[in-house]
Structure 1
């Protein structure tokens, strides 16, 4: 039996898609001197090769990828859109607007100088900034009819131009940006380590080189045998011995006879009561010094604690905008914070880190204590495998309908297009989800697969569309497009740094993180964090990333329409 592989692949587009994704993953994970082009770049390169040999993709596959990706981008950005207006938010907002405006103006100016068609200009901007949302916005503007197709051209040829320009400029946009971010602090004589330490000191953030951890608690039970304690509340007892009422969190269960009682500050203690204490060894040693408590006792009802882990979404206005030290996850509630995530980015777990709406905490502790903490912070995102596909699908439907709405101004029809509609719908659903965690449930694994698979399906289509014309474009426009790409990658970063330092007076470590977020480059953030030896830059990245995705999508739509 003879198998014609070429014919097999030509007859089976699904085989082509997943072969490209598989090899793309392999290539994207190859590191050369700590640099890697990433999975998106690897898939794009593989798709270009297949496209050069005339392999095609059913348009519905790319449309599906585009829909899943851009809606997920909006969903992820939703909780953070309003957060950029809090604390350092105004500076993040201004910096993101400035960076987007600089990039847009630069591309528009270069296109005018070298007489570059708007389709190539859109691909130039998307590739130079490695911004897939920009590419999505531009291509969708063409397919949805928002762009007037020039005489002698077709919508397909415009999409191919966008894809070709994106492919030519993407590599330097990825690797070049990492190189620039690595060497720029040295050129500017900026000590990122010192800057991160200074910011950490000002905000009460522990250095990554400092140990920030609470000793694990243990559970012990005591009996009340002092008549002087009888008839007094927990608050009175603790105050009498110079303790803070917040230390009540250690007393999580009280037993009176056979009745189990949840201790409160106004709970009255009686002779013979037994109390379970969930605290560190040092705190138990202090408890031994309190008169009126016998040595440890054994009582299964008291020491049979239910230790659990909860994923908590921050929604309570009483907690939003407060540092972790003020919330007192351990000091006030006796629970232990493992991680804090914002827009899929790990935040520093330090006393000075400010909590924002939509943040997700992983917290462990005794179940009753966890319930009290959850009520104070927001709501628990209970672990389950189900995704609320009804809300997910309805949100996409709403976005597609919004994208069809146009407003006629004179002879010009203006609308958001599918990209803008899906983005807006995703933002609304994501924002509502952050405020009402029981609505629109989507586990982290589901979020990842929707966004990642959507992105890769879309990139396969981009590469296959560009593959047929990439050789000719490289021979004619390749050098000038590449040179323009270098300019568009580097200049906004330099101008943005100057603007952030001198106009916004931002800390350099925070600023470099914010700049990588404004350029939507997660690999560049990794380089900055390595140089700073701190996670402080992640705070800046999270401040600009969500809004940048939205603005760059709109910028891609706008530039291809000019």
Structure 2
């Protein structure tokens, strides 16, 4: 009865796969969490035994939207990191080359078909997008329908098996084993990096909600009487701002030339460490705030587009700024690839970063105009831009070439990925066109990928058990090796050749593997977010390069099999 219902209404199987899959994926055992995509695939493989199938057109549309949105959101960071992030980017190259070599060794030793080989790459590298690009490449091999479906089913099955073991391996490697090999204490190393970036004397001080990084305090002027406002602010590196002054019960217009007088009540905003240092020289703090609003007045998100700010630290950005232009503007947070990077004085900024500015409204608006463009609080998507981008991606995907007797074609997936990169980069340079709010882009990525995975899982269901029986433990073992070998190579290259610190190096290794659970576990072990600095660079590169390897693996494996 259930099987007949699912076959008659496959949309039930689709949404059941999404609901149950994300429920299973949310279960966390220690640092290990499958995630919604893998959970969806597992449920879809089971429901696929009933014969329920999703129309291929829906699957293709879902994947095109997902892969375009992936490129669109990663475009600015991808191009920003190609040049300045070369040290970390080298680790992504290590990942690409080593997994490609390992896959081809597995093909030769185990006599894997093209689908199984591509599935191993997707699963061990925990990069679900490879499933789509590889599936399209299989369809272009010229086999009959039955053989094509079998190979595409093998991609999904090999992915599901190797993904689980690859996920566990990368989480344990980055958060536990690598530190033992390097003989370091990750928490101590993370605190050292935190201090180097200007985070203060304590690892926890930047995390406590009771002690935020940016604060406002009211004082009664004492020892600072006679000092001009501008000179007082300069003494503390312009990391604090005298926002309001009340003298004799009347407010005064605050200018840099105005001299403070004994008994003045002043409101000072700025970085907490600067206020702590300035308090003894300023006077007694007024516990009640003297009627001032000590909350920082305004907050605005700005996309950093200024060319000379790329690669500069937050401290350098403030030092280079004209005091009058930078006065009262503070960077409270840095978001890169939808991940928070610690906003410390020593944090390097990249074009495409989203900076959260705080301060008085006039100040943050002035700062936003000089740094980039304000991220518009809009819920509208420019469907002209989106539709044009996908169409161009499909056109690019039709291009093909022959290399060494092997025909390679990007397909819709690879074409839309490259188109998304280009359109995302254009959007970052010319913000007046191509609105695709981050929430809209995220739903395109999440729903598009989950729908695609559910569709291929349902179609692969009947063939999944056959492949597992054929190879047994070989697939999990190869999946583990495809994580350990690149990880160990990157560990050696990062420490011996690139001289990277252990914390950001391990973050970069998690990023080259595109593993969100790994970086989450690593942040938990280190106690702060410093590993994210390395993670975002390699994640941006590997997230683009790995899907493009899908057609390459399919082409090479098919040629070896002949």
TM-score, reference length from structure 1: 0.83
Q: Distance in 2 between matches of 1:383 and 1:75?
A: 18
Which residue pairs with 1:403 in the alignment? 397
Which residue pairs with 2:65 in the alignment? 68
Q: Tell me which of 174, 191, 198 is aligned to 2:167.
A: 174
1:109-164, Cα deviation, whole Å (9 max, x unpaired): 11112211122111111111211122222112123x2x343x89632222112122
Residues 23-62 of structure 1 aligned to structure 2 (within 5 Å): 23-62=20-59
Q: Distance in 2 between matches of 1:425 and 1:239?
A: 49
1:459 aligned to 2:453? yes
Secondary structure of 1:56's aligned partner: coil
Secondary structure of 2:302's aligned partner: strand
Residues 478-489 of structure 1 aligned to structure 2 (within 5 Å): 478-489=472-483
Q: Distance in 2 between matches of 1:523 and 1:240?
A: 48
Q: Distance in 1 between matches of 2:552 and 2:164?
A: 24
Q: Distance in 2 between matches of 1:518 and 1:239?
A: 46
Which residue pairs with 1:257 in the alignment? none
Taking a change above 3 Å as real, the CA distance of residues 411 and 478 of structure 1, as seen in their structure-2 partners, is closer
Which residue pairs with 1:154 in the alignment? 147
Taking a change above 3 Å as real, the CA distance of residues 251 and 503 of structure 1, as seen in their structure-2 partners, is closer
Taking a change above 3 Å as real, the CA distance of residues 241 and 57 of structure 1, as seen in their structure-2 partners, is closer
Q: Tell me which of 70, 74, 94 is aligned to 1:98.
A: 94
Secondary structure of 1:382's aligned partner: coil
Taking a change above 3 Å as real, the CA distance of residues 92 and 174 of structure 1, as seen in their structure-2 partners, is same
Q: Tell me which of 315, 324, 328 is aligned to 2:305.
A: 315
Q: Distance in 1 between matches of 2:423 and 2:482?
A: 33
1:210 aligned to 2:208? no
Q: Distance in 2 between matches of 1:305 and 1:505?
A: 42
Q: Distance in 2 between matches of 1:176 and 1:367?
A: 48
Shift of 1:5: 3.9
Q: Tell me which of 413, 424, 430 is aligned to 2:418.
A: 424
Which residue pairs with 2:176 in the alignment? 183
Q: Distance in 1 between matches of 2:252 and 2:64?
A: 53
Residues 366-377 of structure 1 aligned to structure 2 (within 5 Å): 366-377=360-371
TM-score, reference length from structure 2: 0.83
Q: Distance in 2 between matches of 1:162 and 1:20?
A: 18
Contact 1:276–1:303 (Cα < 8 Å) also in 2: no
Q: Distance in 2 between matches of 1:174 and 1:425?
A: 29
Shift of 1:453: 0.6
Shift of 1:363: 2.5
How many residues are treated as equivalent by the alignment?
Answer: 526
Which residue pairs with 1:123 in the alignment? 119
Q: Distance in 1 between matches of 2:450 and 2:472?
A: 24
Which residue pairs with 2:158 in the alignment? 165
Contact 1:510–1:536 (Cα < 8 Å) also in 2: yes
Shift of 1:544: 0.2
Which protein has the larger Cα radius of gyration, Structure 1 or Structure 2? 1
Taking a change above 3 Å as real, the CA distance of residues 113 and 240 of structure 1, as seen in their structure-2 partners, is closer
The Cα RMSD (Å) is: 3.6
Taking a change above 3 Å as real, the CA distance of residues 337 and 409 of structure 1, as seen in their structure-2 partners, is closer
Shift of 1:513: 0.6
Secondary structure of 2:457's aligned partner: helix
Q: Tell me which of 536, 553, 556 is aligned to 1:542.
A: 536
Taking a change above 3 Å as real, the CA distance of residues 318 and 412 of structure 1, as seen in their structure-2 partners, is closer
Shift of 1:489: 2.5
What residue ranges of structure 2 are gaps of 5+ in the alignment? 246-250, 557-562
What residue ranges of structure 1 are gaps of 5+ in the alignment? 230-235, 255-259, 290-295
